[in-house]
Chains A and B, each alone.
Chain A
Amino acid sequence: MKKYFLLLLLFSILFVSCSNKDNTIDEEYIPIPYSLKVPELFQQKLIAPLIPINNPLTEEGIALGKKLFFDERLSKDNTQSCASCHNPRNSFTDNLRFSLGVDGVSGTRNSMPLFNLAWNFNDKFAWDGKELSLERQALEPVKNPIEMHSSWSNVASRLQQDQEYPLMFLNAFGTERIDSTLVTKAIAQFERTLISGNTKFDQYLLGNTSLNQQELNGFTIFMSEDKGDCFHCHGSNNNPLWTDNDFHNNGLDASFNDLGLGAVTGDPNDNGKFKSPSLRNLVYTAPYMHDGRFSTLEEVINHYSEGLQNSSTIDPLMKKVNQGGVQLTPLEKADLKAFLITLTDDDFINNPSFQN
């Protein structure tokens, strides 16, 4: 009988120790659910943001994601974090045409600004739509040789040795064991909280401020089919995202060095198509276009006015391509720029929740 008792005791100790090794806690901590702070206009005008059921937002997950977003240990030599190319002060992009990786090598695409990502309902991210969720997007830069040039096993190992991370992962996801899946889930949670919804134009639509005549004229040009005709791709007073999150060939080139969406889908009809970026915070996101070819807003406006290039996949919404563009006068260009600047959200840029 005593022998059996000892055996039972041994088994009990073995199970307890296995349980500890599995990094779970006896009484599982339940992370606190978090609801996005959806701006009033978004509530009025848009359908609810998209949160994947396998990665619900929690306060612990977001806090962990923020710490990871700014952590340079995600790169090979501990010199770069996500924020290196997605700086909050630049609306989560940088001011370079092409960002430099840890080895000093530049990429071929301009770093995209990050905000209002939970309203990207097609769930296709990056200029060419190749990333089919925020979580998958976050997997890529760490191992990309021209970006962070690390490996997920190295990153997980480094983070595992940190004094704070294991407990943060435990509280956010119920395990101390760190891997790429949980790291990217946390980063995606933080990224979904990056909401820009407080521009001068937002306040104008809410009746809290007024626009000057030049800004109003610019909005009219933006919304006129026979002038700027910007609204078909970039939204209106009824869509505060200022993007359709879709892919278009907007007449940048007559032939393509970069196939964009076409390289992802393999469909030649998609060659030269890139995602429409939001027009929010343009003041902070120069240079512009997928390859950062335009340094100023004036250059962008000139492109649509006189600089369109025809090609096999040109979007029919670039309707005056045979005349080079919509042919705005200098005054109309200035008005349009004045309106675009009303889409600047300084509160977003300075939001302490989004800073390191």
Chain B
Amino acid sequence: MKKIIIICLFFALNSCSQDRDISLSPVAITLNFAHSWGEDDISSSDFDELKFTNENEQTLSINRLRYVISEITLIHESGEPTVLNEYNLVDLTNEAGLSFTTSESILPGDYVSASFRFGFSNNLNIDGAYPDLNTALFNVPGLLGGGYHFMQLDGMYIDNNNQEAAYNYHVINAFDGSNSNDTVETSFSVNIGGLTIGSNTNINVKMDVSEWFKNPNMWDLNEFDTNLMGNYDVQLLMNQNGSSVFDLVSITQ
């Protein structure tokens, strides 16, 4: 009987040990980025055609959409934060960076909140520091504060003269060259909420591109179409509109 108990205990302890080893091994997580215009999903195959209508009833196309996300942050239920020092360039134009698996690993478990940053915070928006973004020409000129674009959204629209005109909705830090080069951070955190990190966690996020033109600032492309990078006030408006562009679609394990 004693032998049986010892054998049972051995198997029980062994199986517990295996469970704990698996659950405590750090894992990567994957962020998947989808895109929509309102209710309609979009991809690069929808580009280059005047097929979208913004809240201001202006017809427009998308020719280029790329943006950077960084600082994936998780707060464990113990209160301990984990910040991944990584970034990802999402390039819908070339269907690149749409799925991003972190290089750094995270301990599995329950997290009370998770987030990523659209763009770079000031301390990471270091001029010329990221070779892949330099190669992609994602830089911001030094005379506008340097660092990197947070988003390039380019296309054509039908203007008040019923002509096709270009727009370059480029999001960067707000830079006031007329006021001692004052810079306001316009990157922002996108909250995903609480989640459980398992061995194969996929966080599926969607950007509704129409929100950039809509909420809370109704966008008039006739007024703000090009040369927006150096427009301090417009960058603040873009930042406000950015707050509603991302939605969490699902988390799968």
Chain B residues contacting A226 (CB-CB under 8 Å) are 227, 230
Residues of A within 8 A of B242 (CB): none
* Residues in A whose Cβ lies below 8 Å from that of B142: 223, 237
A356 contacts the other chain (Cβ, under 8 Å)?
Answer: no
Q: How far is it, in angstroms, between the C-alpha of A226 and the C-alpha of B142 when the chains are bound?
A: 14
Q: Is A313 an interface residue (CB 8 A)?
A: yes
| Chain B residues in 8 Å Cβ range of A224 | 141, 143
A321 and B137 contact, CB distance less than 8 A: no
Q: Do B135 and A239 touch (CB < 8 A)? A: yes
Contacting B48 at CB < 8 Å: which of A119, A233, A269, A317?
A269
> Which of A119, A225, A238, A269 has its CB near the most chain B CB atoms (within 10 A)?
A238
Complex Cα gap A47–B135 (Å)? 7
Instruction: Determine which of A231, A316, A321 lies in contact with B168 in the assembled complex, contact meaning CB atoms within 8 Å.
Output: A316
Chain A contacts with B in 211-230, Cβ cutoff 8 A? 220, 223-226
Question: Which of A45, A220, A236 lies in contact with B131, CB distance below 8 A?
Answer: A45
B137 to A235, Cβ gap below 8 A? yes
Q: How large is the interface on B (under 10, 10 to 19, 20 to 34, 35 or more residues)?
A: 20 to 34
Chain A contacts with B in 285-313, Cβ cutoff 8 A: 310, 313
**Interface bin, chain A:** 20 to 34
Q: Taking the complex as formed, is B128 at the interface, i.e. its CB lies under 8 A from any CB of chain A?
A: yes
- A232 and B166 form a contact (CB under 8 A): no
- In the complex, which residues 240-259 of chain A have their Cβ closer than 8 Å to any Cβ of chain B? 241, 244
Interface string of B109-140 (1 = CB under 8 A from A): 00000000000000000011001101111010
A238 touches B155 (CB 8 A): no
Given A119-B135, A224-B143, A269-B48: A237 and B63 interface contact (C-beta under 8 Å): no
Q: Is B178's beta carbon under 8 Å from chain A?
A: no
Q: Whose C-beta in chain A lies nearest to the C-beta of B229?
A: A225
Do the beta carbons of B137 and A232 come within 8 Å of each other?
A: yes
Q: Is the CB of B168 within 8 A of A319?
A: yes
A254: min CB distance to chain B, Å: 13
Which A residues are CB-close (under 8 A) to B227? 225-226, 319
List chain A positions with a Cβ less than 8 A from chain B: 44-47, 119, 121, 220, 223-226, 231-233, 235-239, 241, 244, 269, 310, 313-322
Q: Which residues of B contact A (CB under 8 A)?
A: 47-49, 63-64, 127-128, 131-132, 134-137, 139, 141-144, 154-156, 163-168, 225-227, 229-230
A-B contact pairs, 25 of them (CB 8 A): A44-B128, A45-B128, A121-B135, A223-B142, A224-B141, A224-B143, A225-B141, A225-B168, A225-B226, A225-B227, A226-B230, A231-B137, A231-B139, A233-B137, A236-B137, A238-B128, A238-B139, A310-B164, A316-B154, A316-B155, A317-B166, A318-B166, A319-B226, A319-B227, A321-B166
